[in-house]
């Protein structure tokens, strides 16, 4: 695989975090990044500010949506919320890693959509037993029929998921390019390291959003992701 081919493989696996406060600002970033990015994360801030219409707009523009709401509620509400996310067109939705929540979320899917990912640990938290926690959550995910986990891009955490079930997908936030400021993130990884460790998707926000040229920053991250893919063959 050439470097250019590796970038093509990496491109659909880069998720840009639309952690902004308005629909107008979100649309501006989408327009600037659209040549390279087609998968976008909507978190609590933007979902509260812009509502379900933001999801529908992105889907209508042909983009993929990762709805990162970290849902935690009674089982009936969780199931209905997951079903509603699927109707909006979200490809992925996140829930807290509680057995009852995971079970309800899996039951809320219609026709296999949306994909449900369990949040194991926030990457802003330092943890000496992260791999053990990830393995436990992975076991619950398999038992409940959940599609994947949100974990840090560390080789040991990704390996803990794969050891439980290689079919579980892995999305890694807390991604920081070489030499960048980790900010409030504690368990960070470079794009190359996370991809080499076997991550399926990387979530990147501030390193792109706060760059002088967000598109160039996204392209640089894709190049790092390609290096990781090439390193693992």
Bridge partners, residue 92, by sequence: 66, 115
Provide the strand spans (E) within the chain: 14-17, 39-42, 64-71, 92-96, 115-119, 148-150, 169-172, 201-204
In the three-class reduction of DSSP (H, G, I as helix; E, B as strand; rest coil), residue 104 is classed as helix
State both tokens at 104: 């309800």
Q: Per the residue annotation, which of 41, 70, 109, 136 is the catalytic one?
A: 70
Look-up: residue for tokens 């399926």?
A: 200
Q: Is 70 a catalytic residue?
A: yes
Q: What angle do CA 53, 114, 189 make, to 5 degrees?
A: 95
Residues with a catalytic annotation lie at 70
């Amino acid at each position: 695989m050439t470097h250019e081919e590796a970038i093509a493989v990496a491109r659909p696996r880069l998720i840009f975090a639309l952690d902004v406060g308005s629909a107008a600002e979100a649309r501006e970033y989408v327009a600037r990044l659209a040549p390279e990015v087609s998968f976008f994360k909507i978190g609590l801030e933007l979902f509260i500010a812009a509502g379900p219409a933001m999801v529908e707009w992105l889907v209508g523009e042909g983009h993929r949506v990762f709805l990162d709401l970290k849902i935690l509620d009674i089982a009936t509400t969780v199931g209905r919320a997951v079903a509603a996310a699927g109707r909006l067109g979200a490809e992925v939705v996140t829930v807290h890693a509680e057995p009852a929540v995971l079970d309800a979320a899996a039951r809320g899917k219609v026709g296999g959509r949306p994909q449900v990912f369990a949040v194991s640990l926030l990457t802003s938290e330092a943890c000496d037993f992260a791999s053990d926690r990830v393995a436990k959550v992975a076991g619950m995910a398999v038992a409940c029929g959940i599609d994947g986990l949100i974990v840090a891009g560390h080789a040991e955490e990704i390996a803990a998921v794969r050891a439980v079930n290689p079919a579980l997908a892995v999305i890694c936030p807390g991604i920081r390019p070489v030499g960048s400021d980790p900010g409030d993130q504690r368990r960070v990884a470079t794009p190359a390291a996370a991809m080499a460790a076997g991550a399926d998707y990387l979530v990147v926000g501030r390193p792109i959003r706060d760059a002088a040229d967000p598109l160039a920053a996204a392209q640089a991250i894709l190049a790092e992701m390609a290096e990781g893919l090439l390193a693992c063959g």
